[in-house]
Amino acid sequence: MEATSIEILLAGMDDEPEIAPVMAAFNQVEGIVWRPGSMIPALRRVLRESELGLILVARDRASRAVVGYCLATFGYDLEFAGRDAFITELFVESSARGRGYGQALLDSMVESLRQHDTKAVHLMVRPENERARSLYEGRGFDVSPRLMMTKLLTPDEA
């Protein structure tokens, strides 16, 4: 199978039951505590309010199953003269890896963001994740000379 055996589609509300388990798998791989009580409502909000961001799903053409997804959220930055986006999640099920699905999802997301008047796209990757870094660098992403820092503004819901 190759990337032609999947189709990349903009996710809608009907896709939430299929996206949630793949999100849970992504969180497990990334070492993020899966909190469905708060994360599922956040997923629903992005699916419902397109001004927040986009979610693309990769569906296997034969089985129609969701085998991967990509989530980007919108921001706005004067440095980029307008809307920017942050790819916060890109994940392909382990059984579907090595077939070009991640590249297809990434390329489709970048094109979708371009169509939404996005001027720059950001993402984060673990330094030790050489496979993902190779994918991103091969698609034109460069390492930023800045460190990302985070401050949580809500209490931990673990």
Residue 154 domain-assigned? no
Nearest to 111 by CA among 139, 80, 75: 139
Which residue range is the domain that position 102 belongs to?
3-138
Tokens found for residue 80: 């980029």
Residue 144 above 70 pLDDT? yes
Count of domains forming the chain:
1
The maximal CA–CA distance of the chain, rounded, in angstroms, is 44
The CA angle 134-107-141, to the nearest 5 degrees, is 40
Kindly state the helix (H) or strand (E) to which residue 30 belongs, with its residue range.
helix 16-30
Write down how long the chain is: 158
Does residue 19 sit within a domain?
A: yes
CATH number of the structural domain spanning residue 119:
3.40.630.30
CA distance 113 to 123: 13
Q: What's the whole-number average pLDDT of the chain?
A: 92
Note the pLDDT of residue 1: 43
Does any domain span residue 144?
no
Read off the pTM. 0.89
Query: Is 148 inside any structural domain?
Result: no
What is the pLDDT confidence band of residue 24, given thresholds at 50, 70 and 90?
A: very high
pLDDT on residue 150: 85
